[in-house]
């Protein structure tokens, strides 16, 4: 379950992010202090549904051993929301009283740029991230919006509120699951995923990726839904759809990896 924390200080707005996230300092029940990047439902197109997808994506990535910042649920009392600068206050006040937060990434990390290269050491992590994004149907790791930091051979990924939207009709097109031929066709388009070009034609050991996905238990996946706060009253259907996709992908992971290999061939 995610740790719940409470804001004690507004720090600054994020310089990137379509949802207008904020850097805030928070306190946990044990008195520990953590700086997080908080995302509020009032800044999201689908409100708390997007936040629920963030939670599920972060929990899944953690279980797969992928490099995501620690996630939190942020309890936002009305009296604190009223102290936020006027430029951000309306968004916070119209939001759910529970926001999604992730530990702020510190140190000399840079945004992944198109000119960055994937070293041999980075291949297992980069390939794991590409498979993860393909399965959760995350369209938001593009060249123009990488949602990835890099430092040397170290990667950090974030922002998954647009994932798991596979059940939404898009221009009347039929959804093809990632374990079916053509299910990851969108990754073939240049720029649609930051790692596709750098992994194309490389020697990749998919064994550890397969083991991580195959090792997900039904109990683990069920816990992703249980991690969602009761205050998000309208997310049950979206959460159930997301966890079903995860279970189905786990059960069809060999076919998923064949589709990934096709995309990278």
Partner residues linked to 101 by β-bridges: 38, 72
Give me the half-sphere count of Cα atoms (radius 13 Å) on the Cβ side of residue 115: 1
Strands 71-75 and 98-103: antiparallel
Residue 168: what pLDDT?
Answer: 72
What's the chain's average pLDDT? 95
pLDDT at 173 over 80: no
Here the tokens at position 258 are 């064949």
Residue 18: what pLDDT?
Answer: 84
Q: What is the CATH number of domain 110-264?
A: 1.10.1070
Residue 170: what pLDDT?
Answer: 59
- Dihedral over alpha carbons 30, 31, 32, 34 (to 10 degrees): 110
Residue 108: what pLDDT?
Answer: 82
- pLDDT tens digits, residue range 44-87? 999 999 999 999 999 999 999 999 999 999 999 999 999 999 99
- pLDDT tens digits, residue range 179-199? 999 999 999 998 999 999 999
What is the percent of the chain where pLDDT is above 90?
A: 92
Going by C-alpha positions, the residue among 43, 129, 93 that lies closest to residue 51 is 43
Mean pLDDT, residues 233-237 taken together: 97
Per-residue pLDDT band at 169 (split at 50, 70, 90): low
Per-residue pLDDT band at 145 (split at 50, 70, 90): very high
| Residue count (the chain) | 265
> How far out from the chain centre does Cα 227 lie?
15
């Amino acid at each position: 379950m995610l740790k719940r924390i409470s804001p004690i200080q507004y720090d600054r707005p994020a310089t990137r992010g379509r949802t207008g996230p904020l850097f805030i300092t928070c306190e946990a029940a044990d008195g520990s202090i953590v700086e997080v990047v908080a995302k509020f439902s009032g800044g999201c197109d689908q409100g708390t549904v997007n936040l629920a997808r963030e939670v599920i994506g972060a929990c899944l990535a953690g279980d797969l051993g992928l490099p995501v910042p620690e996630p939190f649920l942020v309890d936002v009392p009305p009296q604190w929301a009223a102290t936020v600068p006027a430029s951000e206050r309306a968004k916070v006040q119209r939001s759910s009283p529970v926001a999604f937060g992730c530990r702020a990434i510190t140190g000399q990390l840079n945004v992944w740029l198109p000119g960055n290269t994937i070293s041999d050491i980075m291949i297992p992590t980069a390939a794991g991230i590409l498979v993860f994004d393909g399965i959760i149907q995350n369209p938001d790791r593009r060249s123009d919006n990488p949602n990835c930091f890099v430092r040397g051979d170290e990667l950090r990924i974030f922002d998954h509120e647009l994932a798991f939207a596979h059940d939404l009709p898009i221009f009347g097109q039929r959804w093809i699951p990632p374990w079916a031929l053509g299910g990851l066709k969108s990754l073939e388009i240049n720029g649609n995923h930051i790692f596709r070009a750098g992994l194309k034609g490389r020697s990749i050991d998919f064994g550890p990726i397969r083991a991580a996905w195959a090792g997900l238990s039904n109990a683990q996946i069920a816990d992703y839904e249980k991690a969602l706060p009761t205050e998000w009253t309208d997310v049950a259907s979206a959460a159930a759809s997301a966890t079903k996709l995860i279970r189905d992908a786990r059960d069809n992971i060999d076919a998923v990896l064949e589709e990934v290999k096709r995309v990278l061939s």
